[in-house]
Amino acid sequence: MRLLLVSRIDNPDAIAYSRKLKAVLEEDEVEVFYDDDTASILHEPGLPLSDTTADAVVVVGGDGTILRTIQQMQHPVPVIGINRGEVGFLADLDPAEAIDYVRTLPRGFSVEERMRITLFKEGTSLGTALNEALIVTTRPAKMLRFSILVDGITTEQFRADGLLISTPTGSTAYAMSAGGPIVDPRIQGFILVPLAPYLLSSRPHIISSTRRLEVRLESSKPANLVIDGQQTIELGTSVTLAVQPAHYPAKFVDVGRNFFEKVDNKLRKL
Q: What does pTM read for this prediction?
A: 0.92
Q: How confident is the model at residue 270 (pLDDT cuts 50, 70, 90)?
A: low
Provide the mean pLDDT of the chain.
94
Q: How confident is the model at residue 220 (pLDDT cuts 50, 70, 90)?
A: confident
pLDDT tens figures, 165-204: 999 999 999 999 999 999 999 999 999 999 999 888 889 9
**Domain locations in the chain as residue ranges:** 2-114+249-267, 117-245
Confidence check: pLDDT of 84 > 90: no
Q: 15-19, 259-263, 265-269 — which one is most confidently predicted on average? A: 15-19
Told to judge if 63 belongs to the known catalytic residues of this protein, a careful annotator would answer yes
Q: Give the pLDDT confidence score for residue 88 in this predicted structure.
A: 78
**For residues 7 and 98, what is the distance between their CA atoms, to the nearest angstrom?**
14
- Of 35, 37, 63, 228, the catalytic one is 63
Q: How confident is the model at residue 269 (pLDDT cuts 50, 70, 90)?
A: low
Strand pairing category for 132-137 and 153-160: unpaired
Q: Does domain 2-114+249-267 have CATH number 3.40.50.300?
A: no
pLDDT tens figures, 127-162: 999 999 999 998 877 899 999 999 999 999 999 999
Could you tell me the CATH superfamily of domain 117-245?
Probable inorganic polyphosphate/atp-NAD kinase; domain 2 (2.60.200.30)
Q: Give the pLDDT confidence score for residue 39 in this predicted structure.
A: 96
How many CB atoms lie under 10 A from the CB of residue 220?
Answer: 9
